[in-house]
Amino acid sequence: MADDRTHARQALGRLLDALDGRRTERVRLMADRPVEGPLFAEFAHHALADVEVALVLAALAARLAGEPALSGQELAAAVADDSAGRLAALARLDGEAPVVRAGMLVAEVVPEHAADAHDTRFRLGDAMFRLACEVYGRPAPPPAPRDTGPFRGNAEVLGELRRLSLHYRRRAARVFHLDPWTGTGIEVVDGASVLVRRAEEEAARVAGRLRATRRDTELPALAFQREHGLGTDELVILATVLFQELIEGVGAVDAVDLVKLVSASEAELLEKRQILRPLARAGLLRLEGAYAGKDLTADASLPPEIVAALLGQQKPIDSDQRLDFHSYLQQLESSDPFFDDLDGSSFGS
């Protein structure tokens, strides 16, 4: 591993220097670049062509020089000496290009065509910058293993659903090119394929934990799920609206944004366009202000008794309790104390 790191450090240094040098030297170094070690293993994993590696390195060099973003024109000029080479470089910057889909280069607006990439501004993905820094520094510690066992408390269930909702929200922001929850601190820095994969992995893990939890375990959120025959997506929708109200202070969410939340593509959006209707018919979700027969034009909110059921309360929260609870939430620096209090039955008795 130390040899891989040393080799990667030497190769990266030479390649960055070669960006300002002669084309023949740049081509030779690209052909001889390592396929293991920090950064270069990622290039190999995505089978990047030489010009794609050069584009990523040009964005890295720009960031190190204090230029956080470059246009496609500037990136192409940095890696090619002639017009034909620059056109070839622009062709590697559209929305389907590996460097864009994998989040190595993050576009302000994902270009549909190479011609659109010419004036689009790109910045180096944060994950790539961390890998580049790792070449010259200490290796990043391995991520802590995520729990895959049965749930032990109701707050743990709700906490996992909230974290899964955040993964879904980041995915929706990238896939549908908008973030309906602007201002909530959600940053979208990775490519669509990365975010889709991450959301799918987290959804599978949470679904596995739900299955692993004994049916006779007395957890209000799981009892609620079983009573109404809800899947993971339906639970995430309800949990999202719950925490939008309790933590974000938002009383209703656009129904269409909830469908986008649980969709990984435009095709899935069409398939799931009626996912809210059964929830509304069962009285689990209010859809108000919609045009006749058009659920996605509605505002979605939770009835008080559904909030109470998810939190494990005997009766709905009245208006005074909601004011007290919102004041309590505003004093929290993060959501962790909320979950600690919830498991301590402060809000579940």
Domain assignments of the chain as residue spans, ordered by start: 2-136, 154-343
The band of 177, judged by pLDDT with boundaries at 50, 70 and 90, is confident
Confidence category of residue 229, pLDDT binned at 50, 70, 90:
very high
Q: Which two tokens stand for residue 67?
A: 């230029």
Q: Is the pLDDT of residue 134 over 90?
A: no
Q: What is the pLDDT of residues 13-66, one digit of tens each?
A: 888 888 766 666 777 788 788 888 888 888 998 899 999 999 999 999 999 889
Which residues are within 8 A (CB) of 138 and not within 5 positions of it... i.e. 6 or more apart? none
Instruction: Look at residue 347 and tell me whether its pLDDT is greater than 90.
Output: no
Structure-model confidence comparison of residues 34 and 242, the more confident one: 242
Between CA 96 and CA 73 the distance in angstroms is 18
User: Which residue spans within 92-224 are E strands per DSSP?
Assistant: 105-107, 121-124
The pLDDT assigned to 349 comes to 34
Provide mean pLDDT across the span 187-211: 83
Taking 50 as the threshold, does the pLDDT of residue 333 lie above it? no
C-alpha–C-alpha distance, residues 150 and 111, integer Å: 43
pLDDT tens-digit series, residues 250-301? 878 899 999 999 999 999 999 999 999 999 999 999 999 867 778 788 999 9
pTM for this entry: 0.63
Range list of β-strands (E), the chain: 70-71, 105-107, 121-124, 253-254, 286-288, 299-301
Burial classification of residue 249, based on how many CB atoms lie within 10 Å of its CB (0-12 exposed, 13-18 middle, 19 or more buried):
exposed
Portion of the chain with pLDDT greater than 90, in percent: 44
pLDDT class for 348, splitting at 50, 70, 90? very low
* Mean pLDDT, rounded, for 175-185: 63
User: Token pair for residue 342?
Assistant: 């919830």
φ, ψ of residue 27 to 5 degrees: the values are -65, -40
Position 283 scores a pLDDT of: 95
**276 vs 26: CA distance, rounded Å:** 55
Say what the pLDDT of residue 133 is. Answer: 87
Backbone angles phi, psi at 286, to 5 degrees: -95, 130
Predicted confidence band of residue 334 (pLDDT cuts 50, 70, 90): very low
pLDDT in tens, 70-116: 999 999 999 888 899 999 999 999 988 999 888 899 888 888 888 99
